[in-house]
Amino acid sequence: MSETILKVQGVSKRFGGLQALSDVGIEIRKGQVYGLIGPNGAGKTTFFNVITGLYIPDAGTFELGGEPYKPSAVHLVAKAGIARTFQNIRLFAEMTALENVMVGRHVRTKSGLGGAVFRTARFKREEAEIAARAKELLDYVGIGKYAEYKARTLSYGDQRRLEIARALATDPKLIALDEPAAGMNATEKVVLRELIDRIRRDGRTILLIEHDVKLVMGLCDRVTVLDYGKQIAEGTPADVQKNEKVIEAYLGAGGH
Ligand SMILES: Nc1ncnc2c1ncn2[C@@H]1O[C@H](COP(=O)(O)OP(=O)(O)OP(=O)(O)O)[C@@H](O)[C@H]1O
């Protein structure tokens, strides 16, 4: 069996009187696409926010690539090797597509602020390499021709792909996609599906929150289902779909 990339155990998170997550754990192996699904308010985004250092959990242990890690701050999590996209796209709107991806790559560069201020030879060489790599990534996600366009001028689907390119630029062990198909039309979803499949084939590991059940069932190797902060099922898409608790949770929530 392939190596474990992410192992999370016993995650709990409370907001005032609301138990948003209770004792949630997942294990993702290298090369898997792992789905996190559940009705609205089930705790999916909270779980993402915990593992990516946006929320401090009340309990939980975390291992990334076999090493313990503490998701205490977003930049440290990115350095440790988890990159994410957001449900509500978070790009630098006034920067070009290329610059947005270059920002992602800076997580892995060596020249510090001093290099940037004094524009050392090493800094300039590194910048040129970063730009070249960023362009490659834009081509990879299929929006290379928009490299010099401001992010805000791209279509919704292309902005989502740009977010994926930026996440890939950090060279992550795990890429976490928060509802990547939200707001996409059917054609865009097909293209997205192909892209996620390609990212997996190229050896990456993906954690995915997604409402589009068809996309989840078609793409994911394993799925965890949350409901009211509790993990009610874990397994292959086929197993999970047959699970009574899952059927009930979805029907109870209006069957979305
Ligand atoms: N910062 C916060 N403060 C207080 N309550 C919060 C906070 N973030 C999330 N919650 C609450 O925690 C619960 C889980 O929310 P969460 O956003 O994680 O669900 P979700 O499964 O991602 O839902 P959706 O599918 O609608 O995005 C909800 O009841 C939500 O209102």
Atom of ligand 1 lying closest to residue 87 CA: 27
> Mean of the per-residue pLDDT values for the chain?
88
Q: Which atom of ligand 1 is nearest to the CA of 38?
A: 21
203/104 Cα distance (integer angstroms): 19
| pLDDT of 103 | 84
Residue ID of nearest Cα to ligand 1 atom 7 = 15
Give 164's pLDDT tier (boundaries 50, 70, 90). very high
On whether the CB atoms of residues 207 and 36 are closer than 8 A, the answer is yes
Beta bridge partners of 6: 28, 64
Instruction: Check residue 57 and give its pLDDT.
Output: 95
Task: Please give the full DSSP string across 159-210, using - where no structure is assigned.
Answer: HHHHHHHHHHHT--SEEEEESTTTT--HHHHHHHHHHHHHHHHTT-EEEEE-
Q: Which domains does the chain have, with CATH numbers?
A: 1-81+172-256 (3.40.50.300), 91-170 (no CATH)
- Which ligand 1 atom is the nearest neighbour of the CA of 46? 18
Identity at 123, one-letter amino acid code: F
Q: State pTM to two decimals.
A: 0.88
pLDDT tens track for 212-247: 888 888 899 999 999 999 999 999 999 998 889 888
Q: Could you report the per-residue pLDDT of 93-125, keeping only the tens digit for each?
A: 889 999 999 987 776 665 555 556 666 777 778
- C-alpha of residue 83 to centroid of ligand 1, in Å: 21
* Long-range contacts formed by 186-190: CB under 8 A, 24+ apart: 188/157, 189/215
pLDDT-derived band at 255 (thresholds 50, 70, 90) equals very low
